Amino acid sequence: MAAVRRGTLTVARAVEVAGVTIGAGHPIAVIAGPCAVESMEQFREAAHSVKEAGAVLFRGGAFKPRTSPYSFQGLGARGLEIMREVADELGIGIVTEAMAVDQVDPVARLADMIQIGARNMDNGPLLEHAARSGRPILLKRGMTATVDEVLAAVQLIQRNGGHEVVVCERGSRTFEPSTRNSLDIVAIAAFQLLHHLPIVVDPSHGTGRADLVTPMAVAGIAAGADGVLVEVHPQPEAALSDGPQSLKASEFPRFMEAVRAMSVAVGRPS
Ligand code: PEP
Ligand code: MN
């Protein structure tokens, strides 16, 4: 993807999703939930726990991009319905991924924000379609994408009428084997400080390890992140997707305490 021309980003510095404002000095937005929606019971339990501890938006995958075709592929349209029903029960918005052009309309109908996954950051037709849906977009950085390539993807969304974009730093693929990805903390400051884009940190995919999620969430906030996208499961050991990097629901209040402490330290309102 071509390098971005400076000064051509006109997207919003703060994005509103279901009554929550992300960016421009607003409170740190914690978007939490399981990697994948597995059943009504699982999603409802996760949602109750994270809301009670202070999450302001729910995440969860209905259409799942999996590396192996033998892994759980998500509940599809039924997963979207489950998320919407639980979100309405609890009065909180939802963020979920559209992986293909034909998934954009169903996702836009039921979700409050459309996630574009790392594997699709440079999928032009998908970005264009999502931009035209009118929903805010959570754009995950591609596994090997540079900062300029992310900015070019934001420009493509902008050119198609999407002006509400939040970037997500979720780690790059590197030579380091002890973590799933290498979380690029400096990129968080670059997006936020240099390019004035709202950005959230994803310490779950950024590390692949539940024991590193809290320190990396805190580091991301220290670097200027406007929010945290984090995977939480009632029983990570039984999760159908990304269990090793998911916080146990019972551990989530402690995670929120650390997030709040760092938010105070960097002067964000609570
Ligand atoms: C996810 O958020 O569950 C996900 C699949 O993320 P990524 O696209 O960053 O791998
Ligand atoms: Mn995941």
Q: Is the pLDDT of residue 2 over 80?
A: no
pLDDT tens by residue, 139-187: 999 999 999 999 999 999 999 999 999 999 999 999 999 999 999 999 9
- End-to-end Cα separation, the chain, in angstroms: 38
pLDDT tens by residue, 114-150: 999 999 999 999 999 999 999 999 999 999 999 999 9
**What single-letter DSSP state applies at residue 4?**
P
**Cβ of 243 less than 6 Å from ligand 1:** no
Cα–ligand 1 centroid distance for 97 (angstroms)? 8
* Token reading at 158: 């902008």
pLDDT tens by residue, 71-125: 999 999 999 999 999 999 999 999 999 999 999 999 999 999 999 999 999 999 9
CA dihedral (138, 261, 25, 16) positive or negative: positive
Cα–ligand 1 centroid distance for 117 (angstroms)? 5
Write the residue with the smallest CA distance to atom 3 of ligand 1.
Answer: 35
Alpha carbon distance 155, 263 (integer Å): 30
pLDDT at 39: 98
Write the residue with the smallest CA distance to atom 1 of ligand 1.
Answer: 35
pLDDT at 66: 85
Cα–ligand 1 centroid distance for 65 (angstroms)? 7
Alpha carbon distance 147, 134 (integer Å): 25
Helix runs in 96-245, H state only: 101-110, 124-132, 147-159, 185-189, 210-222
CA 36 from chain centre, in angstroms, equals: 13
pLDDT at 12: 86
pLDDT tens by residue, 207-264: 999 999 999 999 999 999 999 999 999 999 999 999 999 999 999 999 999 999 999 9
Cα–ligand 2 centroid distance for 245 (angstroms)? 8
Q: Please tell me which residue, 66 or 84, carries the higher pLDDT value.
A: 84
pLDDT at 27: 98
Confidence of residue 5 (pLDDT cuts 50, 70, 90): low
pLDDT at 100: 97
Alpha carbon distance 52, 175 (integer Å): 39
Look at the block and give the residue holding tokens 């440079």.
Answer: 122
Q: Report residues near ion ligand 2: CB below 5 Å.
A: 35, 242
pLDDT at 268: 95
pTM comes to 0.96
- Among all ligands shown, which has an atom nearest to the Cα of 62? 1
The CB-based long-range contact list for 74-80 (8 Å cut-off, 24+ gap) reads 74/36, 74/37, 74/241, 75/36, 75/37, 75/38, 75/39, 77/106, 79/36, 79/37, 80/106, 80/107, 80/110, 80/111
DSSP character string of 31-92? EEE-SB---HHHHHHHHHHHHHHT--EEE-BSS---SSTTS----THHHHHHHHHHHHHHT-
pLDDT at 9: 85
